[in-house]
Amino acid sequence: MTRREILTRAAALVFLPLLAGGPAAAAGPRTHTIVMQNMRFGPVPANIKAGDTIVWVNRDIVPHTATARNGSFDVVIPARRSATMVVRRTGTLAFYCRYHPAMRGSLVAAR
């Protein structure tokens, strides 16, 4: 390895992490949060893509579930805890809480 190559690689090691945290990261998977509070699902982020992670945060004093109507996910979130899942499907995914069926929401996952 030449001195020039070593310097180039060293520079890449330094700059790549910076790039990863910069605008280029927008193309990679992201993490979104949906809060469950007072027996309701809070606002659902609009820019979800397949491969992104959703953190379900339960601020209530009882357990909830985030369950897709089409069966593509079913996450149990204990009282005052959170749980994460990766969005696997695209399209509009209606979800509800199996324990409290009046709690409903939907998310749109883009390709």
DSSP letter assigned to residue 3: H
Which residue, 68 or 109, is less far from another protein as judged by CB? 68
Query: Does residue 71 bind another protein (CB under 8 A)?
Result: no
**Is there binding between residue 99 and another protein (CB under 8 A)?**
yes
How many residues touch another protein (CB under 8 A)?
13
The single residue among 10, 12, 62, 110 that binds another protein, judged by CB under 8 A, is 62
| Strands (E) located in the chain | 31-37, 40-41, 48-49, 53-58, 64-68, 74-77, 82-86, 91-96, 104-110
Nearer to another protein, 13 or 102 (CB): 102
**CA–CA distance, 55 with 99 (Å, rounded to integer):** 19
User: Rounded to the nearest whole angstrom, what is the least distance from the CB of residue 19 to another protein in the complex?
Assistant: 45
Q: Tell me whether residue 69 or residue 98 sits nearer to another protein (CB atom).
A: 98
Report which of 37, 42, 33, 30 is spatially closest to residue 105, judged by C-alpha positions.
42
Grouping H, G, I as helix, E, B as strand and the rest as coil, residue 13 is: helix
Binding-residue pattern over the window 5 to 44 for another protein, x denoting contact by CB under 8 A: ---------------------------------xx-----
Q: Are 97 and 66 in contact (CB under 8 A)?
A: yes
Q: Give the binding site for another protein (CB under 8 A).
A: 38-39, 60-63, 79, 98-103
